[in-house]
Amino acid sequence: MSTEKDFLIPVDSHSHSTQSPDGKNTLEEMAERACELGIGHYTVTDHVEINKFYDEEFLYEEPVRQSSLLLPPLAEKYRGRVDIHYGVELGQPVHDYELAQRILDSYDYEFIIGSCHMVKGWDDFYFLDYKRVNPNFLLKLYFDELLEMAEWGRFDVLGHLTYPLRYITGDFGIKIDMSQYEGIISEIFKTLIKNGKGMEINTSGLRQRIGVTLPDEHYVGLYRSLGGEILTIGSDAHCVSDLGKGIAEGVALAKKCGFDRIYYYHCRKPIEIKI
């Protein structure tokens, strides 16, 4: 009988395949890599961008439906080698609650990451030119939308808090005085905790120019100090070579911030793993 300690990488709870517009490897290739790496519990969380759902550049309906058909046999095929879970990264649900609910009602997701990649009226933070737009104007909108999403609460964990900093600080080198957002971030955490929701440590930042997890140590510690318990860790890999990256560092950060367990989700239920 294996224990959690036998796995080199206990979890990877955030990853994408070619079922996402920006994924580079198929579900099968990602699963094979998860197996090679010895990941204990591997969750596929392909994108569903609510406000882009009907855009012609990537029509989500068909790939989203395909994933629901591909995942159960894939999980079955790898049973005993890697524990595969069917999740989703739900982007911008606050832009269309009705559509978000329709998606959630249509598929048996085991795990839902609630994310914000863009605020109403603006493109993805990835595409914006922070020399032309005041970053603080956008950050205020970003945190307001996250609070609204936390209040809505029909997801499991908040994805990559501080995502815009990956571009504002990481790519444009613009330092932000984050103390002005401490109040609203605390409100977001309190709302998540009250609603039984969690947060993720997204390790993608460790392999990008920003060089820290999203969110970083300060916010993982703040979440803990406010009573946060549910924490997941994901690489946000979009290709096989990034799968499992930074998970060990994410676990070490969780421990440093006072967590003695992390979670993965099975059928929308958090399952704890001692760390």
Distances (CA, A) of 158 to 7, 120, 183, 244, 269: 25, 18, 17, 19, 15
Site for Zn ion in 85-114 (CB under 5 A): 89
Closest separation in Å from C-beta 14 to Zn ion: 6
User: Does 236 contact Zn ion by CB under 5 A?
Assistant: yes
Q: How far apart are CA 81 and CA 96, in angstroms?
A: 39
The CA–CA distances, whole Å, from 122 to 95, 118, 129, 137 equal: 12, 6, 11, 12
Q: Which is nearer to Zn ion, 170 or 226 (CB)?
A: 170
115 binds Zn ion (CB under 5 A): yes
Counting contacts by CB under 5 A, is residue 200 touching Zn ion?
A: no
44 vs 193, which CB is nearer to Zn ion?
44
Using the minimum distance from each CB to Zn ion, give the nearer residue, 12 or 236: 236
As a residue count, the chain comes to: 275
Mark 38-77 with x for binding to Zn ion (rule: CB under 5 A) and - for no binding: ----------------------------------------
The least CB distance from residue 274 to Zn ion, in Å, is 26
Q: Which helix (H) or strand (E) holds 168?
A: helix 165-168
**Rounded least distance, CB 117 to Zn ion, Å:** 6
CB of 47 to Zn ion, least distance (A): 7
Please, what is the minimum distance in Å from the beta carbon of residue 57 to Zn ion?
Answer: 17
**C-alpha Rg value of the chain to the nearest Å:** 17
CA dist list (Å): 148 to 49, 152, 158, 179 = 17, 6, 12, 20
